[in-house]
Structure 1
């Protein structure tokens, strides 16, 4: 079974890593163990899952090529559709397996998210989920403070996109690797949560650690722009419209 899971992981990585995605395996039980039952994934504890992250390279390696290949009028939310496109190809390549995909933006009928992305990234060892409880001398009083994941190589310059779940694959042997606690000092943790909660629009929280790579200026401009302006910024609109006519 271990060999089979390693083979499965290799196949998924082979489809996604060269496009600017990271894939990290975990057991559903690790995720459920740290959450109230209302947020539990309804699978057995040993069920295999992978959390999928996009890193800065995804913009040039997956997103822009995807845009050029799609008719403009069919693109509603370009990034979400790009992710969905590539994960659907993964599922097709694993036709011998039952694969369920959950996306970070999907909601249940009760308006709760289908999964808590930051918790999944933390238990899979992909990125450390810094929360108020990580700070000893809490300076915020009555204020509501949201937590944020930081990646050991990309800081805040990444996104958690989806889960791949394999309901028929049990991995009792899988060993949990804790995420790297890369924001080391109390002062930096307070600074991170301050910047994320009160100054998130200037993106400074993303640089709380030294990073290996961050979003390009083009990518930053794209994500900062209102959705209606984004395609124009890439200079792709004309090409997309021509595509749409053929």
Structure 2
């Protein structure tokens, strides 16, 4: 396993040069940071010092990556168009930037045969410092009793107007003390605001108010909100009205989003 202080800097520079202009953000982490906070059944099978990178999409991704992707490449098969777009650009970045390296790429929507997710997107974002993962346990003396409240990540600049898309694991790259774990920005520090956030996310996620729990520097464009606000089975008709999905590409089956946390873990 290769190890040098320049690995993290060079890896991040290459990824940013390829993906930042498309509306993605990247945050490095050590696998040990991720595995330490999870039970053995959810840990990733790499050594603790293995380099990984979590990839987020910002509000700019829709116009800078998705719409150009639909215009030039289009969708094929039955998977979600956003998923196809993200996979296209991230796979292209890995192939172009690291042609001689083994990089294991997992996407937020991928599942193992056990039906467990390939990685926990919100945990990865939290331990990398990219976004703070607010959970029920982060509210002291919470008011919900035995009711389960799903957690949600908040970005320090975009609030809830972002998504966690992918985890890249560089199995042949070990990093040492040069990579220091950052604390995720605690942008919802008060108990009252955390209660508001989790209630808005769990009980009223359709109105998207939880996304504005902190004043965002940018939100989704109206066109992007129209897309994600359209029920998945009707999105193909919306895309056709925009001039996409002509001919064979119009036969799409879009994934149904039945769990509210999926809105954060990659579907809007």
1:152 matches 2:192: no
8 A contact 1:68–1:240 mirrored in 2: no
- Worse-superposed segment, 17-26 or 128-137: 128-137
Distance 1:221 1:168 in 2: 42
Distance 2:74 2:118 in 1: 29
CA separation of 1:73 and 1:96: change in aligned 2, threshold 3 A = closer
SS at match of 1:87: helix
- The aligned counterpart of 1:128 is 132
For residue 115 of structure 1, report the CA deviation from its aligned partner: 0.6
> Alignment partner for residue 187 of structure 1, among 188, 192, 195?
192
Q: How big is each residue's C-alpha offset from its partner over 1:30-76, in whole Å with a ceiling of 9 and x where there is no partner?
A: 00000000000000000000000001000000000000112455463
What is the TM-score with the length of structure 1 in the denominator? 0.94
Distance 1:125 1:72 in 2: 33
8 A contact 2:7–2:173 mirrored in 1: no
- The aligned counterpart of 1:110 is 114
What is the TM-score with the length of structure 2 in the denominator? 0.87
> Alignment partner for residue 90 of structure 1, among 87, 90, 93?
93
1:209 matches 2:214: yes
Distance 2:212 2:171 in 1: 37
For residue 8 of structure 1, report the CA deviation from its aligned partner: 1.4
Distance 1:80 1:72 in 2: 10
Distance 2:248 2:111 in 1: 32
CA separation of 1:43 and 1:90: change in aligned 2, threshold 3 A = same
Distance 2:213 2:186 in 1: 12
CA separation of 1:73 and 1:163: change in aligned 2, threshold 3 A = closer
SS at match of 1:14: helix
Distance 2:218 2:195 in 1: 23
The alignment's C-alpha RMSD in Å is 1.6
Distance 2:186 2:246 in 1: 46
Aligned residues: 244
For residue 81 of structure 1, report the CA deviation from its aligned partner: 0.3
Distance 1:242 1:42 in 2: 43
Distance 2:144 2:232 in 1: 33
Distance 1:127 1:235 in 2: 34
Segments ≥4 residues shifted beyond 3 Å: 71-76, 234-240
For residue 5 of structure 1, report the CA deviation from its aligned partner: 2.4
